[in-house]
Amino acid sequence: MRPFPKRILTFYLVIILTFLVGCQTQVPVFITTSPGSTNTPFQPVHPTATLTPQPTHTPTNTSTPIPTETPMPEPTNTFSPEPTEKTDPPTEEVTAGEVIVPILLYHHVSETIDTQYNVHPDRFAEQMKWLNDHGYSTITIADVARLILDGGELPERPVVLTFDDGYLDVYKNAYPIMQQYGYVGTFFIIGSTVDTTQNLSTKKLTNLINSGWEIGSHSMSHIDLNQGNNWEYEIIGSKSLLEGKLGVPILTFAYPYGLADAAVIRYTIDAGYTSAVGLGSNVTHDKNTLFFLNRKEVKSWYGLDFFEDFMPWTE
Q: Is this prediction's pTM over 0.75? A: no
43 or 202: which carries more pLDDT confidence? 202
Query: What pLDDT does residue 229 have?
Result: 82
**Is 265 part of a structural domain of the chain?**
yes
Residue 236 lies in a domain: yes
Q: Which residues pair with 152 in a beta bridge?
A: 94
pLDDT at residue number 92: 87
Domain annotation covers residue 70: no
End-to-end CA distance of the chain: 126
- Is the predicted pLDDT of residue 243 greater than 60, yes or no? yes
The answer, yes or no, to whether residue 311 has pLDDT greater than 60, is: yes
Residue 250 has what pLDDT?
98
What integer pLDDT is reported at residue 11 of this predicted model? 52
Q: What is the pLDDT of residue 75?
A: 40
Residue 22 pLDDT exceeds 90: no
Percent of the chain's residues with pLDDT above 90 = 69
Lowest-pLDDT range, 112-116, 156-160, 166-170, 225-229?
225-229
pLDDT at site 13: 57
pLDDT confidence band for 8 (50 / 70 / 90): low
Position 313 scores a pLDDT of 97
Per the model's pLDDT, the better-predicted residue between 77 and 224 turns out to be: 224
The mean pLDDT of 251-279, rounded to a whole number, is 98
114-163: per-residue pLDDT in tens? Answer: 999 999 999 999 999 999 999 999 999 999 999 999 999 999 999 999 99
Q: How many domains does the chain have?
A: 1
Identify the CATH number of the domain in which residue 273 sits.
3.20.20.370
Quote the pLDDT of residue 90.
Answer: 80
DSSP string, 206-253: HHHHHTT-EEEE--SS---TTT---HIIIIIIHHHHHHHHH-S---EE
Lowest mean pLDDT segment, chosen from 77-81, 193-197, 205-209: 77-81
pLDDT in tens, 53-63: 333 333 333 33
Q: Which of 133, 130, 123 is nearest to 303 (CA)?
A: 123
Structural domain contains residue 73: no
Confidence band of 15 (pLDDT split at 50, 70, 90): low
Say what percent of the chain tops pLDDT 70: 72
Q: Tell whether 287 is covered by a domain.
A: yes
- CB-based contact 110:120 (threshold 8 Å): yes
Predicted local distance difference test score (pLDDT) of residue 255: 98
188 found inside a domain: yes
Assess if residue 77 is contained within a domain. Answer: no
**Per-residue model confidence (pLDDT) at position 301:** 96
Average pLDDT over residues 69-74: 40
Q: How far apart are alpha carbons 170 and 124 in whole angstroms? A: 11
The per-residue pLDDT for 6 is 54
How far apart, in whole angstroms, are the C-alpha atoms of residue 292 and residue 278?
Answer: 5
The residue-averaged pLDDT of 216-238 equals 96
Burial class (CB in 10 A: 0-12, 13-18, 19+), 145: buried
The pLDDT value recorded for residue 9 is 55
- Looking at residue 91, its pLDDT comes to 84
Which residues constitute the domain of residue 157?
A: 95-310
Please name which of 281, 295, 311 lies closest in space to residue 127, comparing C-alpha atoms. Answer: 311
Q: What is the mean pLDDT of the chain?
A: 81
Query: Is 64 part of a structural domain of the chain?
Result: no
**Res. 83: pLDDT tops 80:** no
- Pairing label, strands 108-109, 118-119: parallel
